[in-house]
Chain A
Amino acid sequence: MSDTITYQYKSASTLLKSGDKDELFLAKYSEIEKKEVPCFFWGKLTDPYTTARCLIALSNTVQSSFNLSPFEFAKLKDPVVTAGNGKIRFEGFSHCAGVYARVDVLPDGHDGEFPENGTTNVDFNQPMISALSRISRNESVVLSVGKKDVSLSQGNEKIVERKVPLPVKWIKGLATVQIFMSQAEKGFLFNRTQALQLFQTLPKGNLKADYYLIVRGNKPIFSAMKSINAVCIGGLHRLRLLEPLIPFADKLQVFPHPDMQSTTWQLYFGSIRFSLSLSRDAWRGFSGEGAALESLIEDVPDTWIDAVDKYSYANQEFNPALLAVNEGVALEKVDNITGRLSAMGLLGYDVDENHFFYRRLPFKLSRILSLNPRMKDAEKLLAENKVDIISRTDNRVEARVAGSGVNHTVILEGEKERCTCTWFSRHQGERGLCKHVLAVKKKLSN
């Protein structure tokens, strides 16, 4: 497997001026596209001014990094667009994979057609971003994801080619963040004025300590002290990515993870939504959290993936029960299927509508599945016969797993699992299972 990925666009994305209307053309590329699909969406944007500002905020997110050296900045990744089911979603990560941003253009946000549905990388280049900031409210803008008029891009000449190291963190993050979002709960809701008030209390500079969102009286504030009902936010300064959008938003809804492992901040602009999800800390990416690991313990039959591909289309709500019925999968096995498919990059999550939607990442599945080192380590432990089940009752399993120089004790008790290794001791399960617990669970499942 190559450790670089080459984005090959047939042309650069541009904002073209033609007569009295602009056309925002987004060049697309997917390494898994089976057939030549020229265009996913073509049509007029209902609110081009806000859409443009949201795309600029997305671009700012994609260009930002909160824990890497400036050298890493050169390796730009392009956002992913999913078009279908009346919606267009743009999503991307910061370099450090600790901030996830998504722009949802809902059915009322455009007046256009979806010649095909699907997910693709789109070229986000600086001239196009600069042009976006020149769109004004009274302009008419047409968006096209891919070329509608095939004649315009005859031949297979690759005009824009960007070779970057394989965005491992990016892909892992995209497969993991959905799990955090699906566990998040609806929290505080603020109107524009309250949101503006809240962001006025955002301290300057990069903040190392945790901060908490609390509401005192009617006024929301960021405080350095924890209190009841507070939402914990690490690396608070990352929220500044939202600042330019707040003066235009109708409302701001916060979705905290129940264990405060992430927060999602969603801004609403009529038929457009912008959401920003923050990982637990500025130095922690969603990529390393391992939330998806448990879902990967049991192998997923290829037929399921084929079935998902067969029955689903981009942005469609994912219904695991329906899939099970159609494919004859035993219902008890369905419980975890959503998590598994999500971990494989096949599903996204909509916090507002509270459901998963189908979105197959435009990367080879083999790449995505190869990105779980803890799972690979667990499989190695099993292959080397290092997992020994000491005792097993209905509610309790004790196992001994040979580690480096010592034997680790793993105890599974009801829903609770514990291990004596450093990873578990340090994070107490908050950052996904350790390889020892994974190995024990995998052994039991086999």
Chain B
Amino acid sequence: MTIEEQFVEIITKQKSDHLASFLKVLSPEQKKLLTPSIKKLSKEYSEYGNKGGNRWGHIKGTDRQRKMLQCASFVCLNRADYEKSPSPVWFIDQENLKHIIDWYVPDWFSDYVNKTASREFFSLEYDWIIELTNKGALRPSRELLVKSMPQMIFEKNDREWKYKPENLLTHPVTLQEHIWYLFELESNLHYSDRFVHFGSDVNKDTLGWKQIFITYSNEGRIERKRLLKESLLASNKSFNKILSGWFAQLFTDLQPATEELLSLQKEIFSILNSPHSKVVNTALQLIKKIAAEKNWDLHGFLDAAPVLLTSATKATVASAIMILEKVAKKHKEHSQVISKLICQVFLHADDELQTKAAKLILAHAGPETENIREELRVFSTSMLTSAKKILAEFISAPVASGEQQDKPDGPGEITAVALTPIPQIETIDDLVFLISQAFDNNETWHLEQVVSELIRFHPRLHPDDFIRFQPAFQRALNLASKGLRSNMGYLEQLLAMFIIDYGNYLVRKFPGVSDSINNIYKKYDNKAGENVQSWTVSPENSSYTAEWSVYSKITAYEPHKHLLVAALNKIMKGDDLPFLSVPTHTPGWIMPETFIDRLSMYQQNNREPDNIDFQVAISRCYLMDTEAVYNYAGGKLSGEYLHLVRFLLDKNSQPEGDFLHRAAWMAASLSKKEKKVYPQFENFSYYKKPFNNYTAQLRWDTVDEEYTYERYDYNAKKNVELKDRRKLLRVFKEQGEKKQSGIRKLFSGLMTAPKDDPTLLYDLLLIKVRYFSSEHNDIKRIILMTPNNPEPILTDIIMCCLDAPIFVGESDKKLMIATLQVLHEIWSDPGEMSHLAIGACMISSDKTVANIAGEIWINAVTNDQISNEKLGEVIGLHERIEFAPLKRFTDLVTQQLFRISDKHNRALQTVVENILKRLPEKPITNLKKLLEVYIELVAANNSPVADTVILDKLESWKKTTSLQKAADVLLNSKNVWV
């Protein structure tokens, strides 16, 4: 029997007792000879799958056989092969190796075991590592030891956990050497007991590593001096935040004496550079204890002070001020330096910190104050009123409104984008490259530009040109078959369908010369058995574009789909009249002249524009400075088109004529600045629906309500109803058809209103969905269907994304950001929903959302395009029920909105006053912050509190101790600032 046959017999007959004696005597050559058999059997016996009868598991062999094979792999294979064996890592534990390691250790063993330290869910037992080391089988790396040590003080017998600190005493090397590695390398020391449960009667705080260090150091088993130093250094060693804080806490828990602290000053000062606030604050607490001592390193602290005083953590700044105050009191010779240093506190828009800093300077600046005056001048724009009052004698020319130096930016600087023409497509070359990039959603207008340019260029295309469109067809098929990339929306999917349809049309129209397209299509045939699904076959003689839909059934995609289907029809009919709605200027405007020119082409050719195309064009018409164009229309158009265009362009014009294009007239009336009901349209079917839904001037409210939900109760083994509270924003869209009075009903009946008015664009632009996916990549283009009246679609976005205090998911957040970005670009006449969106976003949990909302406000105030009363009301009604923390708003104000210009300060005061008016008498959290902001605004604007509602509220809030001071200042503002 050959050696391979012997081995196969041992495995197949599961002779595990014979395996060790068999392997032990193998020579290196024999092991090499056996390698193929081991690899083959290991593969066979580890195969996993359906064992029949729908039972899943290992198809062949037993657990014992697999273990025997793993053992053979360990003994016979080289490292590379062993690493490929079924379970190489788990095999090296004590249970498996203890019978082998005495007679065989592979030469790669030590290196391999050390490498396991980098594995996330695996660690060897510390005792086993020591045993292997003592046997000479392993030279453990520090990483390996550090990985295993945190768990060594816990043992589990059956189901019960035991705390075993004495395990550290088993091997002398543990306390002498290994334990210090825990201070060198990152470990999970801080949560080593996370999965350990000792029972409800054991207090976890009394046991664990911290307790061991304290006890063993008290008992002299661990050197205290070294322990103190190492724990300090470990708190600033690029470990994670929690572990760093854990070491800092260990140092504190060791209760170092003053002498010990003084001897470790260098180390304490060095951890002031830590990026973790817990560590820095621990160091500051320690420094406080020694700051009065003779031998403390004052200069070291002064070196570190600039970083501490500019820290974003308030507690750090406060502690640093406190220590510097102590120093200034004791060391008069440093009071000038300290006073100068402390000026940096005025960068923080925090009244409490600034007051402390100002008092310190006042007390210790000394007689030579020129330096301080100079330094204060630098910070004068960020100093708050209370600090300014304290330091009045240092500020040579008190500026009532610090921001007067900062003149308003003017619209030029902060207007996002002036109207910019969209680059035109001049040649077929341009078209080829445009189609290639249209799938990347690089610009909002690309999709429509591709479609319109194909309509224009199609009649001029030569079959030789088709090869140049190959990449576009490939991308379309790729997208249709494989799905969307992260930058794509469903509109890219729709475009893909359009391009596929167009390709199919070319193949039909130019048989023979269109092989270059056909061949690509064939590569995407989906073969499932006998059936071959091919993109060359259109569904039921229709088109992929016409059949396309999104799974969420959001109807807001319908206008785009409609336009693309219409474009295909135009191409097939050879109709190269341009679409009316293709934008001419960014982000989605049409210059009225261009609109008139395009419409006149339809009129001259006696052709009817597409209904949706007509409405989109009207809704995109740029309606600023339209006087000259009004006359221009007269020379180009006549009849209903002329009346319609003039009605659109002139705010005073009334609708007149035959109203053959009812949807277009309706879209025009909704595009005008003043959106009102026209008696001339009374028998339009659209007027049977609630008109306010088309203008989005809707009622809304914030509520804090009780609700019930179901949860499975494991004890009762059934679903139970539970109650909780939630805060919601509700917008009340009006439902159903408008009820008519009897006479009106009779009258409208006599007028015989047509039942089938063409579809109104706004009846399609609706979003009703709870969870978004890729819609954020489309939303700009959807909003830009009606830039003259974005509020109806905005209503739906608010109802989906801003109805709760936090975003449901990342997609909602992205959708809101995209919405705000496009609103910023088209902002002109904000209505109820725009104010609601901006107000709600200003207190959003997402910083970027809040920041963009802030930018919109800044821009809108500059251009007088926002009602600050309304905005204040929106935020106030949210904060009335603490829909979101008020601090979000006060932070936004101090960081972004305050001191932009006098005009902005006045506007901001209006916003704040309108918030305050809506707040309840019982103070909400962080009201003090808002009052402090209000104080600054009142002072900056020199405009004392005059509103009686606010004065009454202040009287009421004054009763709360923490608000007393701020309320008093405001109540007395009339006496102080006027």
Contacts and interface: CB of A to CB of B under 8 A. Distances in A.
A403 B471 contact: yes
B594 interface: no
Interface in B467-491: 467-468, 470-475, 487
A403 B852 CA distance: 42
Question: How many A residues touch the partner, as a band?
Answer: 35 or more
A68 to B, nearest CB: 15
A130 B270 contact: yes
B266 interface: yes
Contacts of A207: 847-848
Contacts of A217: 403, 405-407, 409, 899-901
B440 A216 contact: no
Given A126-B237, A130-B236, A227-B414, A136 B269 contact: yes
B413 A228 contact: yes
Interface in A209-255: 209, 214, 216-219, 221, 223-229, 244, 246-248
Contact of A409 (B378, B432, B856): B432
A385 interface: no
Nearest to A427: B440
Interface string B269-300: 11101010000000000000000000001011
Contacts of B266: 134, 136
A282 to B, nearest CB: 14
30 contacts: A71-B118, A133-B270, A134-B270, A136-B266, A136-B303, A193-B347, A196-B344, A203-B851, A204-B847, A205-B847, A207-B847, A209-B848, A216-B406, A217-B405, A217-B901, A219-B381, A225-B824, A225-B851, A225-B856, A226-B416, A244-B275, A247-B306, A247-B307, A247-B309, A400-B467, A411-B429, A420-B433, A420-B436, A422-B436, A425-B475
B273 A56 contact: yes
B931 to A, nearest CB: 22
A267 to B, nearest CB: 13
Contact of B895 (A60, A126, A200): A200
B457 interface: no
Given A74-B118, A225-B824, A133 B273 contact: yes
Contacts of A227: 413-416
Contact of B344 (A56, A133, A138, A247): A247
Interface in B397-422: 403, 405-407, 409, 412-417
Contacts of B252: none
B218 interface: no
A411 B439 CA distance: 20
Contact of B414 (A134, A201, A216): A216
A421 interface: yes
Nearest to B382: A197
Among A49, A196, A224, A400, the one with the most B-chain Cβ atoms within 10 Å of its Cβ is A224
Contacts of B475: 422, 425
A67 interface: no
B344 to A, nearest CB: 7
Contact of B847 (A136, A137, A203): A203
Interface of A: 49, 53, 56, 60, 63, 71, 74, 126, 129-130, 133-134, 136-138, 193, 196-197, 200-201, 203-205, 207-209, 214, 216-219, 221, 223-229, 244, 246-248, 400, 403, 405-409, 411, 418, 420-422, 424-426, 428
Contacts of A130: 233, 236-237, 270
B769 interface: no
Interface string B837-875: 000000000011001100110100000000000000000
A167 B347 CA distance: 41
B427 to A, nearest CB: 10
A63 B186 CA distance: 14
Given A207-B847, A218-B406, A428-B442, A225 B416 contact: yes
B439 A420 contact: no
B238 interface: yes
B436 A223 contact: no
A196 B824 contact: no
Nearest to B414: A227
Contacts of A221: 895-896
Contacts of A53: 273
Contact of A224 (B184, B405, B468, B855): B855
B69 interface: no
Given A201-B895, A209-B817, A49 B310 contact: no
Interface in B435-483: 436-437, 439-440, 442, 467-468, 470-475
Nearest to B475: A422
A205 B849 CA distance: 14
Q: Which 5 A-B pairs have the closest CB atoms?
A: A217-B406, A247-B306, A425-B437, A203-B847, A225-B855
B520 interface: yes
Given A136-B300, A425-B436, 8 more contacts: A204-B847, A214-B414, A216-B900, A217-B407, A400-B467, A407-B516, A420-B436, A425-B475
B267 interface: yes
A420 B432 contact: yes
Contact of B437 (A60, A208, A426): A426
B377 to A, nearest CB: 10
Chain B interface SS verdict (over half)? helix
A399 to B, nearest CB: 12
B523 interface: yes
Interface of B: 118, 120, 184, 233, 236-238, 266-267, 269-271, 273, 275, 297, 299-300, 303, 306-307, 309-310, 312, 344, 347-348, 378-379, 381-382, 403, 405-407, 409, 412-417, 429, 432-433, 436-437, 439-440, 442, 467-468, 470-475, 487, 516, 520, 523, 817, 821, 824, 847-848, 851-852, 855-856, 858, 895-896, 899-901
Given A209-B817, A248-B306, A407 B470 contact: yes
A203 to B, nearest CB: 4
Contacts of B474: 405-406
B788 to A, nearest CB: 22
Contacts of B270: 130, 133-134
Nearest to B403: A217
A418 B431 CA distance: 12
Contact of A425 (B236, B347, B439): B439
B303 A137 contact: yes
A192 to B, nearest CB: 9
Contacts of B900: 216-217
B600 to A, nearest CB: 35
Nearest to A217: B406
Contacts of B487: 426
Contacts of A134: 266-267, 269-270
Nearest to B348: A200
A77 B379 CA distance: 41
Contacts of B855: 223-225
Among A126, A193, A219, A248, the one with the most B-chain Cβ atoms within 10 Å of its Cβ is A193
Given A200-B895, A224-B855, A225-B852, A244 B437 contact: no
A409 B431 CA distance: 12
Contact of B238 (A63, A229, A246, A406): A63
Contacts of B379: 193
A426 B437 CA distance: 6
Contacts of A138: 299
A136 B299 contact: yes
Nearest to B266: A134
A368 B437 CA distance: 32
A74 B896 CA distance: 39
A252 B856 CA distance: 28
Contacts of B433: 411, 418, 420, 425
A74 B900 CA distance: 46
A234 to B, nearest CB: 12
A216 B417 contact: no
B896 A201 contact: yes
A93 to B, nearest CB: 17
B625 to A, nearest CB: 22
B707 to A, nearest CB: 30
A226 B417 contact: yes
